Each structure stands twice: as structure tokens, then as C-alpha cells.
């Protein structure tokens, strides 16, 4: 229990530090982009490589990829049903705030230090299924809906290109093919990747702190509270099902129960804006979800005795 709490407090401290240094002017409001580029193109790929270094021939892990996609599909279905009678802007906000998980830049560094390389591997496998929706799939579904008439629509070819052109996703694909062929990650590559991947937690949490924007309007608070209450209620139901009703080994079930409490996808505000929604509200909801996810994951770890 102490380990989970210590990890939570350390993560919160780094996030608060990033936010504080931005507020005092040491960093500009757009400087998070530098940290984001380092995270997405350097430290996160290295963490993924480190995770696959512990891979052993276990094809059940491929089911985890499918579960990542199915959890997103469940969230989209819930959002579609709940927002059927909502106003256009509110519906757009909720359709992007409910599905999609911020795993690579949050969950992976948060739980990686506790569950080790194999935990990182399982998290990466789930994120592959998640990325199909969070990196463009959900946007394609929402923008094609009559409920968001007038939204910017990208060709299918462009959406596929965006999903498959991100460095972490390419690393996932290459690593998956590599280990499926019965090959192991070269030792020299793991030696190089391990210290870089270890820095992913610091870079990711610091980046999140610099991204946070706090908005305290009564309407924004109410809309955010209602949406996130639904998101985390569905997440709790998914966590219980994945932990108690799936036939995986304990460590896989532990990871699955944790990843469904991941914060709102970092791309949600971008897609919200493209569909004509409130980007400020989407960004605020994402910031609050980070705090809630830290609390939810920490409690979840305690209950599971991690």
C-alpha cells in the first residue's frame, strides 16, 4: 500500500511542479510542446522497448490488444446513449471526454515502476487497441454523425496515416511483429533503452503539469463533474469485470483493472475543436481527470494489495 501512495504523491508532486514553474514564468504556456515531443519520440518509445524486453511467448497478450479496442467501443456506446438528447456542443464534448485513454504519457509511467517491465508490456498491448480509437477512430465515428453536422471531416486515408505515423504506435507494431516471430529484443538495445525509458515518468508528468489549465466557471464545473462521474462509473464497472471475470494471470488482470481508470485522452481537446465543440472545456476536463485517475488508481492498487 505504501508503494502505491508513494508513487501517487511523487506523480502529483511532479505535475504540480510543472504547473507551478509555468505559472511563475519559468516556462511559457506552450513550452509543454517540447516535453511532449521528447516524451512521444524518445522516452516513451524507449519505455515500450524495455517492456517488450520481458516478453515471453504468450499469445493471450494479443487478446489484451482487442480488449483495449473493446473498452473504447463500450465507452463510445455509453456516451452515444447518454448524450442522445444533449445539446450539440455538450454532446460533442462528452463523445470525446468519455472514450479514449491517456496511457502512453500517463498510465505507462505511473504503473510501470510498480508492476515492472511485464506490467509495462501489458499496458503497451492495451494501448495498441486504445490507439486505434484515441488517435483518430473515435473522431472518424463522431465527425460522420449527423449530430455534429459541419464538423471538419478527414479522409479515411488521412486518419489511418495519422494513427500509423506516430512513433510509439510504430514501435508497438514493429515490436509485436518481432516477438511474434519468436525473436527477442537484443540485449544491447535494452541497455540503451532502459535509462531513457526510465525518464519517461518524469518527462510525462512534468509535461502534464505544464498542460493543465484551471477554469472555475460554475457551468464548466457542473458539465465536467457530470461527464467525469459517468466516465469513472463505467471505468469502475469495466475494472471489476476485467479483474474478476477474465481468465488471465493475476498481473495482467491487475494492469487491466488499472488502465481503464486512465485520464481522458490528450488528443480529446483537439478533436473536440475540429467538431465545433468547446476546446477549453475539453482541456479542463482532461486536467481534472488526471487528478481523479491518480486517486482511482491508487485506491485500486491498495484494494489489490499491490
C-alpha neighbours within 13 Å on the C-beta side of residue 186: 3
Provide the b/e sequence for 49-77 (b: ≥16 CB within 10 Å).
bbbbbbbeeeeebebbbebbbebbbbbbe
The grid coordinates of residue 300 equal 485500486
Q: Check residue 208 and give its pLDDT.
A: 74
Write down the residue that cell numbers 511532479 correspond to: 14
What's the Cα-to-Cα distance from 93 to each of 86, 213, 235, rounded to whole Å?
10, 17, 18
Q: Check residue 159 and give its pLDDT.
A: 62
pLDDT in tens, 76-135: 888 888 887 777 788 888 888 888 898 877 787 777 767 777 888 888 889 888 887 887
Question: What is the C-alpha R_g of the chain?
Answer: 18
Higher local confidence (pLDDT), 303 or 167: 303
Q: Full-prediction pTM beyond 0.95?
A: no
Q: Check residue 258 and give its pLDDT.
A: 94
With 50 as the cut, is the pLDDT of residue 234 above it? Answer: yes
pLDDT in tens, 19-59: 899 889 888 877 877 887 888 788 888 888 887 777 776 67
pLDDT in tens, 124-136: 889 888 887 887 7
* Of 228, 248, 193, nearest in space to 48 by CA: 193
Q: Check residue 1 and give its pLDDT.
A: 46
Q: How many CB atoms lie within 10 A of CB 28?
A: 11
Q: What angle do CA 119, 68, 96 make, to 5 degrees?
A: 120
Q: Check residue 182 and give its pLDDT.
A: 79
- Lowest mean pLDDT across 73-87, 213-227, 259-273: 213-227
CB 254 within 8 A of CB 115: yes
Q: What architecture does CATH give domain 2-299?
A: Up-down Bundle (1.20)
Query: What ranges do the domains of the chain cover?
Result: 2-299
* Of 255, 260, 247, nearest in space to 304 by CA: 255
The arithmetic mean of pLDDT across residues 204-226, rounded, is 75
* Of 261, 255, 262, nearest in space to 306 by CA: 255
With 60 as the cut, is the pLDDT of residue 2 above it? Answer: no
Average pLDDT, the chain: 81
pLDDT in tens, 143-200: 776 656 555 555 666 666 666 667 777 887 888 788 778 788 888 998 999 899 888 8
Amino acid at each position: 500500500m505504501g508503494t502505491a501512495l508513494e508513487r501517487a504523491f511523487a506523480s502529483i508532486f511532479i505535475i504540480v511542479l510543472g504547473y507551478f514553474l509555468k505559472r511563475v514564468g519559468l516556462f511559457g504556456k506552450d513550452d509543454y510542446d517540447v516535453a511532449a515531443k521528447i516524451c512521444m519520440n524518445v522516452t516513451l518509445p524507449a519505455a515500450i522497448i524495455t517492456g517488450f524486453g520481458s516478453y515471453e511467448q504468450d499469445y493471450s497478450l494479443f487478446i489484451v490488444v482487442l480488449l483495449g479496442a473493446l473498452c473504447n467501443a463500450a465507452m463510445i456506446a455509453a456516451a452515444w446513449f447518454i448524450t442522445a438528447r444533449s445539446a450539440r456542443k455538450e454532446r460533442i464534448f462528452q463523445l470525446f471526454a468519455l472514450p479514449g485513454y491517456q496511457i502512453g504519457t500517463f498510465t505507462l509511467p505511473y504503473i510501470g515502476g510498480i508492476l515492472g517491465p511485464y506490467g509495462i508490456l501489458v499496458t503497451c498491448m492495451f494501448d495498441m487497441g486504445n490507439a486505434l480509437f484515441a488517435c483518430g477512430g473515435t473522431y472518424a465515428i463522431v465527425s460522420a454523425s449527423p449530430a455534429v453536422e459541419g464538423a471538419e471531416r478527414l479522409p479515411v486515408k488521412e486518419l489511418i496515416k495519422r494513427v500509423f505515423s506516430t512513433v510509439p504506435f510504430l514501435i508497438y507494431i514493429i515490436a509485436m511483429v518481432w516477438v511474434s516471430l519468436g525473436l527477442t529484443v537484443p540485449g544491447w538495445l535494452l541497455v540503451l533503452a532502459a535509462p531513457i525509458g526510465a525518464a519517461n515518468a518524469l518527462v510525462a508528468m512534468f509535461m502534464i503539469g505544464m498542460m493543465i489549465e484551471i477554469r472555475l466557471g460554475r457551468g464548466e464545473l457542473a458539465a465536467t463533474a457530470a461527464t467525469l462521474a459517468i466516465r469513472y462509473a463505467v471505468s469502475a464497472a469495466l475494472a471489476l469485470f476485467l479483474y474478476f471475470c477474465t481468465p488471465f494471470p493475476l498481473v495482467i488482470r491487475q494492469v487491466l483493472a488499472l488502465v481503464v481508470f486512465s485520464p481522458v485522452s490528450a488528443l480529446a481537446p483537439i478533436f473536440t475543436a475540429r467538431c465545433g465543440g468547446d476546446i477549453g472545456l475539453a482541456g479542463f476536463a482532461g486536467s481534472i481527470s488526471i487528478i481523479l485517475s491518480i486517486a482511482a488508481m491508487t485506491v485500486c492498487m491498495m484494494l489489490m494489495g499491490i
